[in-house]
Amino acid sequence: MLSRFSTGLQCLGRRLTSISSQRFSTDSISDHSSAINGLTPDQAELRSSVRKFLDKELPLDLVGKIDKDGHYPGFRDFFKKLGSMGLLGPTVSREYGGLDLTYLDHCIIMEEISRSSAALGLSYGAHTNLCINQIFVNGNEEQKAKYLPGLIDGSKIGSLAMSETGAGSDVVSMKTKAEKKGDYYVINGSKFWITNGAEADVVFLYARTSDKGITAFIIEKGMEGFSLGQQIDKLGMRGSPTTELLFQDLKVPEKNIVGGLNNGVYVLMSGLDKERLVLAAGPVGIMQMACELAFDYTHQRNQFGKPIGTFQILQAKMADMYVALSVSRAYVYNVARAITNYYARKDIDIKGPSPYTKDCAGVILYTGEAGTKVALDAVQLLGGNGYANEYHVGRLVRDAKLYEIGAGTSEIRRWLIGRELNKAYLGK
């Protein structure tokens, strides 16, 4: 099943001679997670191959530099390498260059990239799920054949643009407008907070097409009237470019409409389940790294004549971190299996929402908040060194916090879960 993936990895392996030396040992923390979570041998191999590649490709010192600079010059090359390994279209069928794997496989890759670099993990999630998977699920044959191969081989970068300065949690109040002129739509307005915006060649864009109607469009870099606004200087996720997009009389052919005129709210909402699920694996990767760094430190650092990890109060903290990581991972993987099984059914419209909306909101609510807590605990375990950028755990706190905000805030997720629970008791 992973032949294309494995071949790509072998090619890279010939170029990359050894795995970079890290200061920490990883095996003791995640050794049994494949067995506990019932991963297939292929899924366990996928995880270990991706991890080996990333340990070499994104060593800690490079990730620290990317965070400090707020920019990664190797961004596009990194995506090309992921593309050559087949990792950019895990849920897309093979005819468009994908691997035809499951949402669980997608989550495993997302988790591993986020473990090495949460920022590049976020960019990966935006490219593969928010853009590629939305085109795969909602696009017509012509759109899929035109856009997916380049996005999946990594020669093109994708993003999704729905948020605006005035439309965040209330995203359907967006003001960006598309007006029909002949066989074109003319788009005016702007989008804010767009992950990969500065690098994107292809943007999955939502715009208002009537008072009540929103429509999804595919737009391309280089179209007249499309330009970049400010690059946002962020607290964390600093290697993931977040950009304002500006549209002034941008002409988009009518054939670039995705999912039908005025059907954008349906396209947007039905995509959110899968978006929240895949992004929920990001904080799992962050927690994995936080545990690795902190547990290694507590067994090297001595105070009062013994390793600090042997003090009971620190054992309790490590135990809580490990359990938060394990519970998060299990919840993500189980919802990923349920989503995969649901959409594999022959009687299901792949474009529609899943019956697991409450759990897709639930996984990212849980892992997002657990990610920040575990990263903060890692800072505490390192004492003063936890507060020094050189030790990386502070970066994990700043990166983790994003997952309580992006793809709907914790408050909106709680509201959505509560609404679903009310529905179960009270009806609509």
Ligand X SMILES: Cc1cc2nc3c(=O)[nH]c(=O)nc-3n(C[C@H](O)[C@H](O)[C@H](O)COP(=O)(O)OP(=O)(O)OC[C@H]3O[C@@H](n4cnc5c(N)ncnc54)[C@H](O)[C@@H]3O)c2cc1C
Min dist. Cβ of residue 415 to ligand X (A): 6
Could you give the CA distance from residue 357 to residue 162 in angstroms, rounded to a whole number? Answer: 19
Identify which of residues 233 and 349 has a Cβ nearer to ligand X in the complex: 233
Contacts of 411 (CB under 8 A, 6+ apart): 169
Site residue total, ligand X (CB under 6 A): 23
Q: Which stretch binds ligand X (CB under 6 A): 59-67, 163-171, 175-183, 281-289?
A: 163-171
Q: Is 275 a catalytic residue?
A: yes
Min dist. Cβ of residue 160 to ligand X (A): 5
According to the binding rule CB under 6 A, does residue 160 interact with ligand X? yes
Identify which of residues 289 and 407 has a Cβ nearer to ligand X in the complex: 407
Of positions 59, 74, 168, 213, contacts ligand X by CB under 6 A: 168
Of positions 7, 315, 411, 419, contacts ligand X by CB under 6 A: 411
- Among positions 311-350, residues that touch ligand X (CB under 6 A) are none
Residue, CB closest to ligand X: 168
- Among positions 230-249, residues that touch ligand X (CB under 6 A) are 234, 237, 242
> What letter represents residue 103's amino acid?
Y
According to the binding rule CB under 6 A, does residue 278 interact with ligand X? no
Min dist. Cβ of residue 199 to ligand X (A): 12
According to the binding rule CB under 6 A, does residue 408 interact with ligand X? yes
Min dist. Cβ of residue 313 to ligand X (A): 33
Could you give the CA distance from residue 310 to residue 357 in angstroms, rounded to a whole number? Answer: 42
According to the binding rule CB under 6 A, does residue 405 interact with ligand X? yes
Min dist. Cβ of residue 104 to ligand X (A): 23
According to the binding rule CB under 6 A, does residue 126 interact with ligand X? yes
Min dist. Cβ of residue 126 to ligand X (A): 5
Min dist. Cβ of residue 69 to ligand X (A): 17
Identify which of residues 159 and 328 has a Cβ nearer to ligand X in the complex: 159
Q: Which stretch binds ligand X (CB under 6 A): 74-82, 136-144, 346-354, 401-409?
A: 401-409
According to the binding rule CB under 6 A, does residue 143 interact with ligand X? no
Sign of the dihedral through C-alpha 337, 338, 341, 343: negative
Of positions 194, 280, 286, 291, contacts ligand X by CB under 6 A: 194
Closest CA to 149 of 161, 159, 135: 135
Catalytic residue among 275, 369, 390, 404: 275
> What letter represents residue 293's amino acid?
L
Could you give the CA distance from residue 114 to residue 108 in angstroms, rounded to a whole number? Answer: 10
According to the binding rule CB under 6 A, does residue 40 interact with ligand X? no
Identify which of residues 405 and 417 has a Cβ nearer to ligand X in the complex: 405
Could you give the CA distance from residue 9 to residue 13 in angstroms, rounded to a whole number? Answer: 6
Give the DSSP per-residue string, 46-113: HHHHHHHHHHHHS-HHHHHHHHHHT--TTHHHHHHHHHHTTTT-TTS-GGGT-----HHHHHHHHHHH
Of positions 169, 310, 380, 422, contacts ligand X by CB under 6 A: 169
Alpha helix ranges (H) inside 301-356: 312-344
Could you give the CA distance from residue 87 to residue 106 in angstroms, rounded to a whole number? Answer: 8
According to the binding rule CB under 6 A, does residue 409 interact with ligand X? yes
Closest CA to 400 of 288, 243, 272, 304: 288
Q: 121 with 284: CB under 8 angstroms?
A: no
Q: Give phi and psi for 164, each to the nearest 5.
A: -135, 170
Helices 312-344 and 264-300 meet at what angle, rounded to 10? Answer: 150
Contacts of 177 (CB under 8 A, 6+ apart): 187, 188, 189, 207, 208, 209
Q: In 223-359, at which residue ranges do the beta strands (DSSP E only) sit?
A: 226-231, 242-253, 257-258, 302-303, 306-307
Catalytic (active-site) positions:
275
Task: By CB under 6 A, name the binding residues for ligand X.
Answer: 126, 159-163, 168-169, 193-195, 234, 237, 242, 402, 405-409, 411-412, 415
